[in-house]
Every structure is written in C-alpha cells, then in structure tokens.
Amino acid sequence: MAWRSSGASNQALIENLASNGLITQARVKQAMLGVDRAHYAPASPYQDSPQPIGHRATISAPHMHAAACESLLPYLRPGARVLDIGSGSGYLTHVLAELVKPGGKVVGVEHISPLVELARTNTAKSVEGRALLDSGAVEYVKADGRLGWEVQGPYDAIHVGAAAAGQNQVLVEQLKAPGRLFIPVEEGYMQHIYVIDKNEDGSVTKKKDIGVQYVPLTDAPEE
C-alpha cells in the first residue's frame, strides 16, 4: 500500500499513510503532521519513496519513517533521550523530537559534515524546529555512527537509518534498560530490520522484522 500513499501536500501524505494502515498510532500521525517534509526533501517531498539528498545519501520513504516511529513509540515518552544515527537531512530527528516533548532530547549523528549542516539548516526552517535547536532538544553532531554517541547516552531509543554490517553491540550497550534499538542489518544480499530490546534486567532480545533496502552504514571519506 505504500506506493498509493503519496499526496499533494504533507497533510495528504500523512492522511494517506494512515488510511492505508501504514500509520496506526495517533501520536505518530500527529508528530508527522507537524513536520513538513518539504523542509527536508529537496524534490518530491510528498511522494512515498526514498529521495536523494546529496553525498550518496537519501531520505527514507515516509512509510519507513512511520514504521520506525511506531516500533520505538513505547520508549518515546516526554523526557526520553533518543539517538538518530544517519540523520541525513534531519527529518526523522525532528519527528522523534516531537514525540519526546516536553523535556526530551534527540541527537542526530551523521559522518558527512555538509549533511550535518544541511540538517541544522532544514530544522531551522520552521518555528518549531528553531525552538528545538535553540533549547538543545535537537542536536546534530558529526561522528562515526557505527560507534554511536556515548557522551550523551544512555538512550531510551536508538534509530539507525542505514544498513549495518551486523547487530551492533556498541549501540546495544548505549541503550538504557529498558530501551530499544531499531536497525537495518545486512544479511548476505538481503537486509532486514531488527528490533533489539534491552530489558529491565539487562538481558537482550532480538526480533527480525521486514525486509528493507537502505544505503550502507559507513564512515566513508567525504567528497
């Protein structure tokens, strides 16, 4: 149903995603309605498909952003701390910040400096985004996402927006207990989303979810 969900406006896109069962939670719908994708996607922002943002990176399709938010939602409470690895143009970082207001914090990690600056610029396009930046509720940093961002952890939730070579133990260690990691993992010629929970007693459970196609999680040299 994802291919039917595109719209002529941000509201139409989100309403179509909800009508097609790709958004089922009211909090996720409200957060996505409040963040205009046109501020973050340079072309075809309301099409439900990945879009290039430069530097061989993409902004994921809206239905995948919705899936990530819905998976992490039990951990996206007011005051929660969230790590968004591969934050790209900043869209999902902003949506996640809406879901942890008030008092929450989202750190977007990107290894390409121009994309870090792009995310800051994009977030500042809206009044809401500027308020998040000014208050420190959203922060973008340049770092190797494979190593997470320990300095501001531990995190209630971690989202990874690029395909990892394995189920990254470093990121699991940066989760709170309880906490959840949403990560696409390369498996041969395939990729699958893994939802990894650190339970209250520190034990870890892993669930293999849908097949996906993401750009790889790397620390490649900048162009």
Can you tell me which residue has the tokens 């530097």?
A: 55
Q: Are the CB atoms for 68 and 82 separated by under 8 Å?
A: no
Give the CA radius of gyration of the chain: 16
Instruction: List % helix, strand, coil for the chain (3-state, nearest 5).
Output: 35, 30, 35
**Residues forming the active site:** 60
3 within domain boundaries: no
Query: What is the torsion angle, in degrees rounded to the nearest 10, for the CA atoms of residue 115, residue 18, residue 16 and residue 90?
Result: -10
State pTM to two decimals: 0.91
18 within domain boundaries: no
Q: Are the CB atoms for 184 and 191 separated by under 8 Å?
A: yes
Q: Which domain holds residue 95?
A: 61-212
Whether residue 157 has pLDDT greater than 70? yes
* pLDDT above 70 as % of the chain: 88
163 within domain boundaries: yes
128 within domain boundaries: yes
Output the CA angle 155-157-158, nearest 5 degrees: 90
Q: Give me the number of domains the chain comprises.
A: 1
- pLDDT class of 158 with cuts at 50, 70, 90: very high
Q: What mean pLDDT do residues 74-100 have?
A: 97
14 within domain boundaries: no
Q: Are the CB atoms for 88 and 81 separated by under 8 Å?
A: no
11 within domain boundaries: no
80 within domain boundaries: yes
Q: 193 — phi, psi (to 5°)?
A: -75, 135
pLDDT of residue 192: 78
CATH number of the domain encompassing residue 126: 3.40.50.150
φ/ψ bin of 42: left (φ > 0), alpha (ψ from -120 to 50), beta (otherwise): alpha
22 within domain boundaries: no
Whether residue 54 has pLDDT greater than 90? no
Whether residue 55 has pLDDT greater than 60? yes
> DSSP character for 49?
S
> What is the spatial distance between Cα 211 and Cα 12, in angstroms, rounded to a whole number?
26
